[in-house]
Structure 1
Amino acid sequence: MHLLSSFPNPETAIEPLFSLQVQSLPPLLAMSSIQFGSPRPPFDPKLWLTAVWAVALVFLRQGAAASLAWPRNVTVPAAFAFGDSVMDPGNNNGLATVAKCNFPPYGRDLDPSVPLGRCSNGRVPSDMLAETLGVKKFLPAYLDPNLELQDLLTGVSFVSGANGYDPLPAKLALVLSLSDQLDLYSEYMETICLEVGVERASAIASKSVYILCNTYFATLLRRSKYDVSSYTDLLVSWASSFLRELYGLGARKIGVLSLPPVGCLPSQRTLHGGPKRDCFDSANKAAVLFNSKLCAEIDSLREDLPGARLVYMDIYYLLLAIIQDPARFGFEVSTKGCCGTGNIEVSYLCNRLDHPVTCDDDTKYVFWDSFHPTEATYQTLANQIYGKYARELF
């Protein structure tokens, strides 16, 4: 992720996400020590507000899917996911690649019946989308050999870790490119047509919700030919082509996640942040540039593709806010991951040998490993992002 060139400081574009701060909890904890039979303490408005916001924080972190703003009169038959390791539930498990997470401590907070492969301690955003839609709690990998027809009918994930809009990383990592993922989706649709008929298969395709997330930058591999501006143009053109092809295969309701503040990932702090492990500012500026172009392209596609409900979903500023002020969202550590030292571990570097230094309570951490957030962070993001953009998909 060595990104060159410079752009206007993205921090000048940051809008406050919340106007209210969660206050410290000592008064609330003190309130719990009141004994029955003691004189009733005087009403304290500040204490009452502290308690209310503390409870609100719990709901923000745990987030009931029913609280999100999905239209009540809409039934979604299935959910589908495309992208990279942020949402890969295990499609890479059987591939000849090192880019996989199907071993402990990955998935340590999941029920043992759930197949390993997610690059986190628990669920990932595609799972949360499927649950929010009322479809199912886990969105399985399409390449899972144990899938049954009902699993297919309610949606699957075609996501493959270590790929990007740029097809080169997937080729080098021996994983599924976005083009490969579309081929698998075409195969899926053929199977569904044979099983339930063309009419029902077409209805599943058009009424389902699709999510696309791609966070992989390969400028280090492309910098001999492209600067950041031209490379982001290239990435947007690839993203646009993918969305057009997916639309051509019947998809209509598609949410596209923005790039996160990639320069603030623990790995990028370690590799490019200097002795203080600061955020890698050039990477964040490049992400902001790409996001602005992607958003504009999605607006354009929405005009060109009849019936398409394409929605740009901005996760950059919310995740940046969580990283910059973790306590505000109920976290404690945002500069390193839970697994191992938290500075560089990912995939096979995050393993059982790291157990002595792996954190005990991952709910305190924004990141699980040096690249991927924890389930708690994903849930916080999902509650806000899906709730904000839900109605635009219908």
Structure 2
Amino acid sequence: MMNNSRLMFIIGSNILMLVATVGGRGQPGQAKPACNFPAIYNFGDSNSDTGGISAVFLPIPTPYGNNFFKRPSGRDCDGRLIIDFIAEHLGLPYLSAYLNSIGSNYRHGANFATGGSTIRRQNETIFEAGISPFSLDVQTTMHFDQFRWRTHDLFNQANSSMEREKLPMADEFSRALYTFDIGQNDLSAGFRKLSNEQLKTALPDIVNQLAGSVTHLYQQGARTFWIHNTGPIGCLPVATLYIRNPSPGYLDKFGCISSQNEMAMEFNNQLKARVDKLRIELPEASLVYVDIYAAKYGLISNTNKHGFTDPKKICCGRHDGDLNIWCGNKAMVNGSEVFGGSCADPSTYVSWDGVHYSQAANQWVANLILNGSYSDPPMPVTHACYKHL
């Protein structure tokens, strides 16, 4: 049952979206029509992976997906991700993962994101560190390019409309929305391997590599980009779960690791500056920078106000004292098998499994960002194809 505060928030957000869509930011009576995107092409990590890593390696198990899809759906969540809410808002189907060859439909886009992906390639294995081999350059310069070439050939070779109905049309690539949600794993890998000073020194190269991927897609005809910055990684329960007796200042007043969030904010500041520079380098592109950090931190710092429980609590898994069973896993405890299952009401939790947000939290964040309130320039996703409104 949705509580009154969250209901009023969603109603208010929808009103803002209507105002932004109808009135834009231009003169009265001069509002521009919605962009009518024919497709979405997404690049990122587990925050927007709709089945890629699950198709390539071990499938994500139950209870993932059970709260909405009623089964595991390849998402690291109990239900939908922010990219799913973007697709819904634009009237498009949920994105099929590029790496999932079974039952996929690519007529209205494809998802190249995979759990564990980084912007820069890492010298770690996926089994040791949760790092995907499909870094951003692989997603954009290998997977996307091959997808475009092969679907173009298949479309031209098709003998019937039935054969074409799951393939994109060549002239629609330039009118599609290209979304990015990546960078969190670069920081988490850096926290494991580097000093803070070394990681800070590496940030410009990480940001430039993301910009290089945007530039490559632009050269292939992409024109509209919706780029998320990275969230408050120091607030993830997986980062704070094992902390005992922290020194003064190590945690902020909301229980987040201050140094990790400061690094995330530095990454975001550099990313925003680089997006500004890309607007000059790519004159025909519309580039929207989305402040996911502010949206997520706003929720974490005001959970009670918005009807959520303590953001440090984890919905799925068992974490009691020295007992740590991660979501969907099993362990023997005192001779009995114990399963890391779901809490009774995921809709009241910010964190689903300690690393990823719940569907309810994803929807809360989506309601904030879709109307352009957290974007630069401030425009709703429906109008992202315009440089200015």
Structure-1-length-normalised TM-score: 0.75
Letter in 1 for 2:60: N
Q: Determine whether 1:337 maps to 2:314.
A: yes
Task: Give secondary structure in 1 for the equivalent of 2:150.
Answer: helix
Equivalent residues of 1:273, 1:280 under 8 A apart: no
Structure with more helix by fraction: 1
Letter in 1 for 2:297: L
Match of 2:39 in 1: 78
Write the distance in 1 (CA, Å) between the matches of 2:6 and 2:84. 26
Alpha-carbon deviation of 1:65?
12
Q: Determine whether 1:365 maps to 2:317.
A: no
Write the distance in 1 (CA, Å) between the matches of 2:82 and 2:302. 22
Equivalences for residues 1-394 of structure 1 within 5 A: 55-57=7-9, 59=11, 69=20, 72-96=33-57, 102-112=60-70, 116-136=73-93, 138-147=94-103, 151-168=105-122, 172=126, 173-182=131-140, 183-196=142-155, 201-214=169-182, 215-216=184-185, 217=187, 218-220=189-191, 222-223=193-194, 227-272=198-243, 274=245, 278-341=255-318, 349-351=326-328, 353=330, 355=339, 358-388=342-372, 389=379, 390=381, 391-394=383-386
Write the distance in 2 (CA, Å) between the matches of 1:54 and 1:225. 38
Question: For the pair shown, which has the larger CA radius of gyration, 1 or 2?
Answer: 1
Alpha-carbon deviation of 1:253?
0.8
* RMSD (CA atoms): 3.2
Kindly, what percent of the aligned residue pairs are identical? 27
After superposition, the C-alpha distances for 1:267-321 in whole angstroms (9 at most, x for unaligned) are 1112457469831110000001110000000010011112111111001112111
Task: Give secondary structure in 1 for the equivalent of 2:305.
Answer: helix
Equivalent residues of 1:158, 1:184 under 8 A apart: yes
Structure 2 gaps, min length 5: 22-31, 158-167, 331-337, 373-378
Moved more, 277-286 or 265-274: 265-274
Letter in 2 for 1:208: A
After superposition, the C-alpha distances for 1:95-138 in whole angstroms (9 at most, x for unaligned) are 34xxx6621111111334x76210000011111111111112x2
Write the distance in 1 (CA, Å) between the matches of 2:240 and 2:264. 15
Structure-2-length-normalised TM-score: 0.76
Letter in 1 for 2:147: Y
Equivalent residues of 1:93, 1:117 under 8 A apart: yes
Structure 1 gaps, min length 5: 1-24, 26-50
Match of 1:4 in 2: none
Write the distance in 1 (CA, Å) between the matches of 2:304 and 2:289. 28
Equivalent residues of 2:61, 2:72 under 8 A apart: no
Write the distance in 1 (CA, Å) between the matches of 2:309 and 2:139. 37
After superposition, the C-alpha distances for 1:15-36 in whole angstroms (9 at most, x for unaligned) are xxxxxxxxxx8xxxxxxxxxxx
Moved more, 289-298 or 303-312: 303-312
Alpha-carbon deviation of 1:197?
5.2
Alpha-carbon deviation of 1:243?
1.2
Alpha-carbon deviation of 1:382?
0.9
Write the distance in 1 (CA, Å) between the matches of 2:52 and 2:320. 26
After superposition, the C-alpha distances for 1:185-225 in whole angstroms (9 at most, x for unaligned) are 11111123124459x84432111111111121221455279
Alpha-carbon deviation of 1:171?
5.4
Alpha-carbon deviation of 1:147?
3.6
Alpha-carbon deviation of 1:81?
0.8
Match of 1:16 in 2: none
Change (3 A) 1:224 1:203: same
Task: Give secondary structure in 1 for the equivalent of 2:312.
Answer: strand
Letter in 2 for 1:238: Q
Task: Give secondary structure in 2 for the equivalent of 1:229.
Answer: helix
Letter in 2 for 1:89: T
